[in-house]
């Protein structure tokens, strides 16, 4: 199809009006894909959700296109992860000049409110690696937290779309009962692995491991973005051998060469785990992500 300049002009002029015309749906922007998926789960066809980050991305490399800024500008609701998981969203929020979705206003949701955040052990100081000052931000990977997160989201949706309040509640209940059924099944499948240790690339999967009775045996890159030191790698390989740790689980964006090195030297098996919805193609919804994570872990230990 050829682009006619008149078509572009017409769309640019008429675009905002048609968007205002369909005020039925609530326009939501989420910072991360997990929150997008959970908002879609409780909002269904009543919401139109976009995510600032993509699922495969390391959430610190976000390249913003004008359309995303425009979506933030027109959004009725902004759902963010908080806990230091999406600080890059702050300048975007300021740049979008949309007061409705600024902190303290009805269109702003911090999905972490009320979630029990895993705090780093020991005192927080700048000499320790891999410590988020606010705690571990990857709380959506524990399905038990989904009830709290969706409650926060539904509260926000009701504030900006009160006419759909009953529907949001009903959809949330339906989603949670399907999730509960899933959790029961996943727990049964993963039960034989209880107490097993897993080495991860970053400390991304703490909530997931804790929920399903697994333990963290160590991390490869102990300081995000900084190549691990030779001594750290040697220690880790020794630990894996001594404790007979079988599986190294890495995020989609993790450095393949280092993972292969550790796997080769230690004899453990390396697998990729999606760290968010969209991290692998099959994990296209929250339930699919959890399904994928659990079955990948179970398969790896076989």
Binding interface with other proteins (CB under 8 A): 8, 12-13, 15-16, 60-61, 63-67, 69-70, 73-74, 91-92, 94-97, 124, 126-133, 223-227, 229
The residue among 70 and 144 lying less far from other proteins, judged by its C-beta, is: 70
Q: How far apart are CA 256 and CA 266, in angstroms?
A: 15
The residue among 75 and 208 lying less far from other proteins, judged by its C-beta, is: 75
CB 228 → other proteins: shortest distance, Å?
A: 9
CB 59 → other proteins: shortest distance, Å?
A: 10
**With contact defined as beta carbons under 8 Å apart, do 250 and 270 qualify?**
yes
The residue among 123 and 162 lying less far from other proteins, judged by its C-beta, is: 123
CB 6 → other proteins: shortest distance, Å?
A: 13
Q: How far apart are CA 145 and CA 111, in angstroms?
A: 10
Quick one: which of 20, 28, 17, 16 has its CA closest to 161? 28
The residue among 77 and 245 lying less far from other proteins, judged by its C-beta, is: 77
The residue among 128 and 241 lying less far from other proteins, judged by its C-beta, is: 128
Find the helix or strand (DSSP H, E) in which 233 lies. helix 230-242
**With contact defined as beta carbons under 8 Å apart, do 108 and 153 qualify?**
no
CB 121 → other proteins: shortest distance, Å?
A: 14
Q: How far apart are CA 72 and CA 52, in angstroms?
A: 9
CB 67 → other proteins: shortest distance, Å?
A: 4
Residue 98 sits at φ, ψ, to 5 deg, of -120, 100
Q: What is the 8-class DSSP label of residue 73? A: H
């Amino acid at each position: 199809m050829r682009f006619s300049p008149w078509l572009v002009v017409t769309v640019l002029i008429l675009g905002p009006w048609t968007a205002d015309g369909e005020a039925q749906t609530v326009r939501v922007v989420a910072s991360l894909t997990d929150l997008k998926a959970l908002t879609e789960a409780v909002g269904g066809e009543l919401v139109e959700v976009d995510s600032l980050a993509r699922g495969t991305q390391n959430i610190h490399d976000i390249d913003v296109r004008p359309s995303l800024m425009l979506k933030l500008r027109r959004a009725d609701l902004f759902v963010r992860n908080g806990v230091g998981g999406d600080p890059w969203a702050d300048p975007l929020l300021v740049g979008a000049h949309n007061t409705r979705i600024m902190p303290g206003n009805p269109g702003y949701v911090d999905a972490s409110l009320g979630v029990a955040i895993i705090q780093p052990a020991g005192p927080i100081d700048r000499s320790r690696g891999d410590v988020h000052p606010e705690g571990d931000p990857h709380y959506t990977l524990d399905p038990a937290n989904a009830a709290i997160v969706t409650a926060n989201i539904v509260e926000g949706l009701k504030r900006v779309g009160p006419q759909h309040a009953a529907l949001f509640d009903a959809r949330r209940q339906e989603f949670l009962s399907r999730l509960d059924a899933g959790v029961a099944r996943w727990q049964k499948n993963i039960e034989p692995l209880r107490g097993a240790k897993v080495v991860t690339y970053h400390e991304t999967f703490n909530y997931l491991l804790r929920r399903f009775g697994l333990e963290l045996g160590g991390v490869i890159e102990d300081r995000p973005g900084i190549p691990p030191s030779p001594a750290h790698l040697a220690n880790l390989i020794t630990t894996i051998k001594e404790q007979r740790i079988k599986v190294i689980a890495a995020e989609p964006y993790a450095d393949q060469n280092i993972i292969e090195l550790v796997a080769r030297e230690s004899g453990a098996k390396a697998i990729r785990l999606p760290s968010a919805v969209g991290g692998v193609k099959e994990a296209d919804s929250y339930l699919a992500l959890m399904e994928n994570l659990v079955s990948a872990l179970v398969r790896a230990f076989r």
